[in-house]
Amino acid sequence: MNSHEPALDVELDEARSAHFFRMNHLPSRGAHRSLRAWWEAQPWEYRTDGGWDYERLRDGLLSFLAATKGSADRAPLRMLEIRRGRDKSGQPEKFDLVLRPGEVVCLVGPTGAGKSRLLADIECLAQGDTPTGRVVLIDGERPQPETRFTGDGQIVAQITQNMNFVMDLTVAEFLKLHAESRAIASPDSAVRSVLEAAVSMAGEPFGPSTPLTQLSGGQSRALMIADAAFLSPKPVILIDEIENAGVDRTRALEFFVDQGKIVLLSTHDPLLALSGVRRLVIRHGAVQEVIEPSATEKALRQRLAGIDRQLSALRERLRSGERLDSDPATTPAL
Amino acid sequence: MKLVTVAGPPSSGKTAIIVKALGHLQREGRRVGVVKFDCLASHDAELFRAAGIPALVGLSGNFCPDHYFTTNIEDCFAWGRRQDLALLVSESAGLCNRCAPHIRGHLAVCVLDQLAGVHTPLKVGPMLKTADLVLVTKGDIVSQAEREVFAFRVRQVNARARLLFVNGITGQGSWEVSRLWDEAPEDTPLTGGRLRFPVPSAVCSYCLGETAIGAEHQHGTVRKIQIPEAESH
C-alpha cells in the first residue's frame, strides 16, 4: 500500500462492497481488506488490460456506496404552494394554491386546457421561468437550485394509464429491489405491506411469485398504486385517471391519504372528481375556479359510491360465471 | 461556444431529445448546431435540418468510431465557430459501450432508455460513468417504481451526475435539459484537452481488416478469454 496516500484507499470489510465486486464481475476479494491491497495483488495483465485502473475502480466503489446513502429520506413535505401565473393570453391567474399532505385535489377541464402544464410546473418546481409564470414553493420556500432539474430533487411520482411493468421479475423480487434501493431497514415487511395493500385493491388476488409481466391491467395498476403509496419517497402523486375496471378506486385514494401524500388526480369520473377536498377547473391555461364539494355534491358522491359497489358486485358475479337475472337485490334499476 | 457531448446506446432517443431541447434554445434566439457521429449510415441530419438546426454528419466507416470521433471533433468545433453557434451538440451512439466521447471541461450527457432493462446502467460503461447529466427516456410507459429502481442503478454507477427523466416524443423534461445546456461551460479550449476515458490501447490484425479466424492470423496485441479448468474426476 502507498503509505503517502492512505486517504485514497477504501476499506473492503462491508457486505456492500462484496455486492459491488459481484456486480462488476471483479476477481474475488479474497482476504484483502483494502481496495488498494486487492488491486495491487492482481496480475499485471488484469491491471493493464481489464478496462479498470485503480482510480476508476475506487471512484466506482465510492459511487456505489454513496448511492444507498443518497436515497435516504428527505424531511416530510408540509406544504406545497403554487403561486398564480398567467393564462394563455397573458391575463393573470385568479388563484394561489396551497396543497397539504393527505389532500386529494382533482383537476378537470378539456384536453388542451392546461392540466399538463400545471402538472409540469409542479414537476419542474417552476420559478416564474415557465410559460405560465407560476412559482412553486416547498414549505414556503423556493427550492435550492441544485435540487431542481434532478430526478432525486423531483417531488412528484406519476401513475398514468399508459404505464406498464416491463421487468422480468416476480412481484416479490421486484418489490424487494425497490425497498433495497430506498435503504429501508426491513425490506421484507415493506414488501408484505405493499403486497397486502395491492391485493386488497385488486379485483383478483395475486401472490408474491406472480411475474410482474403476467399481472392483469387491474392488478398492475393496484400494485403501482400500493408501491407509490408505501415505497416511493415522492410526497406528491400525480394520477391521470384510474380506470374503473379491476381497482377499488376509493380504497386507492384512502391509501394515499393515510400515507400523507398529496394527490393530484386528473379525472372526469364523477365518483373520483367528487372525492377530492376540492377540484380545480382548468381553462385557457389557468386555474379558473376552485370548487369545494357542496352538501348536495357530497350526497351525490355517497349515491355514486353505492352504485360503484353494486357494479363491482355484478362484475364479481360475471367473473365467476353467474347469471345476473337471478337476484333482484343486487341487480339494481340504474 | 459551448460544446455538449451526447452519447447513448442506439435508438435510446438521443436525437429526439436533442431536437426538443435545442428547440427551446432556438426560440430564445440562440444559434445552435449538431454534429452527428455514426458508423455506416445516418438519416438524422435531415431531422435536424427539418427543425432548422444546422447539422454535420461524420461516418466512421472502417475506422473505430471513437478514434474517429477524437480525431475529428476539433474540425467540427471549428465548423461550429464558423457558423457562429452559441452551442454545438455532438451526438454519437455508444457502439460497443467500451468508450465514451466525453471530454474534460465540456458538459457530458448520457442518454439511456428505461426499457432496455435494469442492468443497462452497469453495461454501458464509461459513457455513463463519466457523464455529468444522465437523461432517462421512455419512462412514461413504465411504472414509477421501475423508474425509481432504474435511477438507483444509475446512481450506483455514477453518484455525481444529475439525472432527469425525459420524453423525446412529448418533449417532457426537454425544457429542463435546455436550462442545463444553456449553463454548460463556455469556451473551454479543445486542442490540448483530454478525453475523460481512454480509448482502447490495443491494435490487432482485425483492426487492420483481417477477417480470417485462427491463431495464425492473430498479430499485434491479443487478449485471450480465461476459461476455468474443468474439475477432473
pLDDT of residue A37: 87
- Domain residue extents for chain B: 2-182
Q: In the predicted model, is pLDDT for residue B86 greater than 70?
A: yes
Indicate the residue of A67, A167, A174 with minimum beta-carbon distance to B156: A67
pLDDT of residue B170: 85
The verdict on a CB contact (< 8 Å) between A165 and B146 is yes
Tell me the H-state helices in A205-259: 217-230, 249-258
Q: Which of B9, B1, B35, B227 is nearest to B121 (CA)?
A: B9
Share of chain B above pLDDT 90, in %: 49
DSSP labels for B125-154? THHHHT-SEEEEESGGGB-HHHHHHHHHHH
CATH 3.20.20.80 corresponds to the domain B2-182: no
Contacts of B163 in chain A (CB under 8 A): 150-152
Contacts of B115 in chain A (CB under 8 A): 166
Least Cα separation, residue B44 to chain A (angstroms): 27
pLDDT of residue A328: 55
> Cα(A197)–Cα(A227) distance, rounded to whole angstroms?
9
A178 touches chain B (CB under 8 A): yes
Least Cα separation, residue B82 to chain A (angstroms): 31
Cβ-contact A178, A231 below 8 angstroms? yes
Instruction: State the Rg of chain A over Cα.
Output: 25
Least Cα separation, residue A158 to chain B (angstroms): 6
Cβ-contact A23, B122 below 8 angstroms? yes
pLDDT of residue A219: 92
Tens place of pLDDT per residue across chain A (334 aa): 444 444 478 877 667 777 788 777 788 887 888 888 888 888 887 887 777 888 888 888 888 887 766 544 567 889 999 999 999 999 999 999 999 999 999 999 998 899 988 988 998 889 998 889 999 999 999 988 777 888 777 888 988 888 889 889 999 999 998 988 887 878 889 999 999 999 999 878 899 999 999 999 889 999 999 999 999 889 999 998 777 667 888 899 999 999 999 999 998 899 999 999 999 999 999 999 999 999 999 999 999 999 988 888 888 888 889 988 866 555 555 5
Contacts of A70 in chain B (CB under 8 A): 155, 159
Which residue of B127, B143, B196 to mutate against A (max A Cβ within 10 Å)? B143
A55 touches chain B (CB under 8 A): no
Least Cα separation, residue A128 to chain B (angstroms): 13
Chain-centroid distance, C-alpha B30: 23
The verdict on a CB contact (< 8 Å) between A67 and B155 is yes
**What is the spatial order of strands in the sheet that A80-83 belongs to?**
A97-99, A80-83, A135-138
For residue A70, what is its C-alpha cell?
Answer: 443518497
Contacts of A179 (CB under 8 A, 6+ apart): A187, A190, A191, A231
> Cα(B224)–Cα(A6) distance, rounded to whole angstroms?
35
> Cα(A63)–Cα(A85) distance, rounded to whole angstroms?
40
For residue A7, what is its C-alpha cell?
Answer: 486517504
What is the ipTM score, two decimals?
0.79
The verdict on a CB contact (< 8 Å) between A151 and B165 is yes
Cβ-contact A148, A195 below 8 angstroms? no
Please, which residues bridge with residue A240 across strands? A266
pLDDT of residue A139: 93
**What is the spatial order of strands in the sheet that A262-266 belongs to?**
A156-159, A236-240, A262-266, A104-108, A278-283, A286-291
Strand A286-291 to A278-283 pairing: antiparallel
pLDDT of residue A329: 58
pLDDT of residue A331: 53
Q: In this structure, which amino acid lies at residue A328?
A: P
A219 touches chain B (CB under 8 A): no
A18 touches chain B (CB under 8 A): no
pLDDT of residue A4: 46
**How big is chain B, counted in residues?**
233
pLDDT (tens digit per residue) in B6-35: 999 988 999 999 999 999 999 999 999 999
Contacts of A312 (CB under 8 A, 6+ apart): A203, A248
The verdict on a CB contact (< 8 Å) between B164 and A149 is yes
For the entire predicted model, the pTM comes to 0.85
pLDDT (tens digit per residue) in B126-159: 899 999 999 999 988 888 899 989 999 998 889 8
Contacts of B166 (CB under 8 A, 6+ apart): B13, B17, B135, B136, B137, B139, B172, B173, B174, B176, B177
pLDDT of residue A69: 63
Least Cα separation, residue B155 to chain A (angstroms): 5
Cβ-contact B86, B31 below 8 angstroms? yes
